[in-house]
């Protein structure tokens, strides 16, 4: 269970407390920015053993590329759009789960492939780190729609079975991050997803005969270390 807490502070003092937070100019109005983020992960195993996993044999990878562009319609505030393509491939020849006491499971000749695209509209607000014109924070609010196709196979030859699926996704998210200018017009960004409302619809067809569907919705407020994004941005 994930719990999110909203804290509201009420001051009984006659005068408001000045935290001396100044909103200095970090990126001026009229600036365009564009960049690209990418990720790649590859795995390969042969007779690999780890904890309850035994005799793992297979290979796989996942990769994604995501260009974006935005325009600063006000000082430190930008609106933009992002596109993303991702692909995942798994070819698992063998996997044994050894749970002890003569209890074990095996998975053989399993394959999975998935690729999809998504489009995101977002608004970003920037704030400089103190009086620095090089380091700054940003927060991004986004709305994303994605579509992907995937296939799951099991077995080989005449005994092979397969399930084809189509996935539609809708997501509302918040992503804080840190940006650092390495030149006047080039910056490095790192960000992490912390808030998300996710909706997913899956339609499946197995062996071109049986059909099924699945719907999922979730809301979370947490830091996911596996959602760290790195990218380069140009400002002009």
What's the confidence (pLDDT) of residue 5?
Answer: 40
166 lies in a domain?
yes
CB count within 10 Å of CB 163 equals 16
Domain range for 184? 32-235
pTM of the model: 0.74
pLDDT digits (tens, 9 = 90+) for 45-86: 777 766 666 677 788 899 988 899 999 999 999 999 999 999
- Establish if 136 belongs to a structural domain: yes
Residue 86 burial by CB count (10 A; 0-12/13-18/19+): exposed, middle or buried?
A: middle
Q: What is the pLDDT of residues 214-229, one digit of tens each?
A: 888 888 776 666 567 7
Total residues belonging to the chain: 236
What are the 10-residue block averages of pLDDT along the chain, 236 residues in total?
42 59 83 85 75 74 90 95 93 72 71 93 91 89 94 80 91 90 89 83 85 85 68 85
Residue 99 lies in a domain: yes
Query: Residue 200: what pLDDT?
Result: 92
Beta bridge partners of 126: 138
CATH number where 200 lies = 2.40.160.20
Q: What is the DSSP letter of 90?
A: E
Q: Is residue 220 part of a domain?
A: yes
């Amino acid at each position: 269970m994930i719990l999110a807490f909203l804290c509201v502070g009420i001051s009984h003092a006659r005068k408001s407390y000045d935290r001396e937070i100044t909103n200095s100019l970090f990126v001026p109005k009229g600036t365009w920015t564009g960049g690209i983020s990418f990720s790649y992960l590859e795995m390969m195993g042969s007779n690999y053993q780890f904890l309850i996993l035994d005799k793992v044999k297979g290979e796989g990878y996942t990769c994604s590329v995501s260009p974006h562009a935005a325009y600063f319609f006000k000082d430190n505030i930008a609106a933009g759009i992002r596109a993303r393509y991702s692909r995942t491939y798994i070819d698992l020849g063998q996997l044994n789960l050894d749970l002890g006491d003569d209890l074990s499971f095996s998975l053989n000749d399993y394959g999975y492939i998935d690729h999809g695209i998504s489009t995101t509209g977002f608004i970003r607000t920037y704030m400089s780190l103190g009086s620095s014109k090089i380091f700054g924070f940003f927060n991004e609010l986004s709305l994303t729609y994605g579509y992907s196709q995937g296939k799951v196979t099991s077995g080989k030859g005449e005994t092979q079975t397969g399930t084809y699926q189509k996935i539609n996704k809708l997501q509302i998210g918040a992503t804080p991050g840190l940006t650092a200018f390495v030149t006047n017009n080039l910056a490095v960004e790192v960000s992490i997803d912390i808030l998300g409302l996710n909706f997913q619809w899956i339609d499946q067809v197995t062996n071109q005969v049986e059909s099924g569907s699945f719907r999922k919705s979730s809301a979370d407020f947490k830091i996911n270390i596996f959602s760290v994004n790195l990218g380069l941005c140009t400002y002009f």
